[in-house]
Structure formats: C-alpha cells, structure tokens
Amino acid sequence: MKINIVEHPLIAHKLTLLRDKNTNSPTFRQLTEELVTLLAYEATRDISVVPINIETPVSKTSGYELSAPPPVVVPILRAGLGMLEGMAKLIPTAEIGFLGMIRDHDTLQPSTYANRLPEDLTGRQCFILDPMLATGGTLIAAINFLFDKGARDITAIAILAAPEGIAAVEKAFADKNLPITIVAGSLDEKLNEKGYIVPGLGDAGDRLYGVV
C-alpha cells in the first residue's frame, strides 16, 4: 500500500482556511473543491493512458489519451460529494459511482445505505473520495466493496487523515498485496474519544452542507 501525504504550500494555505471554525459553508465548499483538484493531480500519477497519433496545425506527432474504459470515481456519501466537482473537473470523462456509508456514532462501525455502481468493475481504476480518513472503517469497507466487484486498483483521496485510520487500513490489507494508494492533504495528530480527527476541521458533512 502506498501513502502519499502531499506537501505543497498552496495545500497548506487552503487547508488552514478550511480548518478555521469561522470559515462558512460556501467558502468551505469552494476550498474543498480546490484542494481536491490539487490532491487529484498527485492521485492520478498512475492513471492509465495509451499512446495515440495526432496532427497539430504544424506536423504529425504522438501523444497520450486516457485508456478506455475510463476510471470510476466513487464519492462516499455524504461528505465525499463535496469532493466530486474538483475531481470531475480534472477527469471529465470519468464515470461516477456512489456509495452511501454512515458510521454509527457509538460503535464507529460503518454500514452501507446506498450503492449506485457498475455491477462489474473488472479492470477499472477506481478513485474513492472521502474527506476524512478517521478510524478507517468506512474506507476499509469501501475498498473491499470495490475489489469484490473486480476493481484493478484503488486510490483513496482524503483531505485529512489520522494516523489511526492509516494504520487500520494498512492492517486490514497487510497480507493481501493489493494495489491501494492513499493520498491525503495532511496527516493530523490523532483521533479524539468521539472519533474526530484532531486538530481536524470538525464534521466535514456538516461544514459542507449544514447540520441536517
């Protein structure tokens, strides 16, 4: 498993604004979109391309285009939705699948309440979007779900990650040698007793969409 905590001054700047409790929802959504685009640039380093021949107005040349079938982007509802636009801007031809997962506030265990994905993901590169890698439970369940459907490789993009979450995902797939990459904008300090990332940014879904 590969872990990439992306260090970049623009990411650090935008993350600091995102964390600030005084940042309102519209600004939070805008920053999330911008952060995802920056993280997605790193997360797509191994995206599959094929060589093609084209003609410029000046001469013949060769280049690359994304392989078919296109990658599948899977935002985890609800907070992952806030990351979709930034990712879709970078890969407009990607197919989008949805996975609704919620974690129980007491047990912190995830359960799936919605699933809109192609039945067969054989050979497909998948990108999971979930802003907060906290306990890792949701991500582990989502990764298992996609590999069970045949995914070729999986890259998870998180805005923030907790060491506990990274360790849990590493442990869950330690002996399986599966192509999994985690890309995050920051490795924070720890989880608190309620499963929130510290210093974190609070509840990402609430901050994106309000408390409902």
* From 27-35, 47-55, 173-181, 193-201, span contacting ligand URA (CB under 6 A): 193-201
- Cα–Cα distance measured from residue 76 to residue 82, given in angstroms and rounded to the nearest whole number: 10
Backbone φ and ψ for 91, nearest 5 degrees, come out as -125, 75
Q: What is the SS3 assignment for 149? A: coil
Q: Is the dihedral of CA 46, 47, 51, 55 positive or negative?
A: negative
Provide the token pair at 25: 């929802």
Choose, by CB under 6 A, the member of 23, 30, 150, 196 that binds ligand URA.
196
Write down the least CB distance from residue 199 to ligand URA, Å.
Answer: 9
3-state secondary structure of 135: coil
Least spacing, CB of residue 198 vs ligand URA, in Å = 8
Among positions 121-160, residues that touch ligand URA (CB under 6 A) are: 132, 134
Q: Does 98 bind ligand URA (CB under 6 A)?
A: no
| Beta bridge partners of residue 157, listed in sequence order | 129, 183
161 near ligand URA, rule: CB under 6 A: no
Residue 82 is a binding residue for ligand URA (CB under 6 A): no
CA neighbor of 135 nearest in space, from 88, 81, 174, 193: 193
Output 43 or 197, the one with its CB closest to ligand URA: 197
Q: In the bound complex, what is the minimum distance in angstroms from residue 135's beta carbon to ligand URA?
A: 8
Interface with ligand URA (CB under 6 A): 79, 132, 134, 195-197, 200, 203-205
